[in-house]
Amino acid sequence: MGDNLVRALDGVTLSIEKGEFVAVMGPSGSGKSTLLHMIACIDTPTDGALSFDGQDVGKLKDGALTRLRLKRVGLVFQQFYLIPTLKALENVELPMREAKVARADRHARARQLLGQMGLEKRTEHYPSQLSGGEQQRVAIARALANRPEVILADEPTGELDSKTADEILALFEDLNANGLTIVLVTHDARVAARGSRLVELLDGKVVKDTQKAK
């Protein structure tokens, strides 16, 4: 920014194990979203290294990075980012279309996921016909479409009321209990408390990394 060097992340060293539920917390501007984008292989570090399942991501070409994001990582956002002109079922099918999944298979998978989210009666509804909680469930179903190993969630309850937020967090807990790795970014201590590990950021640095006692 002009003559000022802004270190969005500053000397961060972090390892996340398979099956963890990690909550990343910090105030606005602390580097939470940047960290999530790094893990998602959307952004690349100016220094240091990033590895995914033992593979050096920095050595992957664009096509390989795209495949990694498409098939191994699921993304959930605060604003849902559903396509308004597509029905719920079609929104969930989108990542599978990109992955060249056969039409019948992706149709069946999308229906199964929406049923898992409690939305079996909302498959033909457009996003504008759904509540905020329902839209987030569709977004989570979409993130699960290609059977990813990791779900990365950026303030996934930020647009929701407290009751609906609790339902969404319980859903993440169920997914984690079934073996899915989850990294959830939040500025809310109540949301962060739902994770099994808490990583706190401040000014681009990790200032605390604590594991919840079992």
Instruction: Give residue limits of the domains in the chain.
Output: 21-211
pLDDT of residue 15: 95
pTM comes to 0.92
SS (H, E, C) the chain: CCCCCCCCCCCCCCCCCCCCEEEEECCCCCCHHHHHHHHCCCCCCCCCCCEECCEEHHHCCHHHHHHHHHHHEEEEECCCCCCCCCCHHHHHHHHHHHCCCCHHHHHHHHHHHHHHCCCCCCCCCCHHHCCHHHHHHHHHHHHHCCCCCEEEEECCCCCCCHHHHHHHHHHHHHHHHCCCEEEEEECCHHHHCCCCEEEEEECCEEEEEEECCC
Domain 21-211, CATH homologous superfamily name and number: P-loop containing nucleotide triphosphate hydrolases (3.40.50.300)
pLDDT of residue 171: 94
pLDDT of residue 1: 66
pLDDT of residue 5: 80
Give 130-166 pLDDT, tens digit per residue: 999 999 999 999 999 999 999 999 999 988 999 999 9
Report residues of the chain scoring pLDDT below 70: 1, 213-214
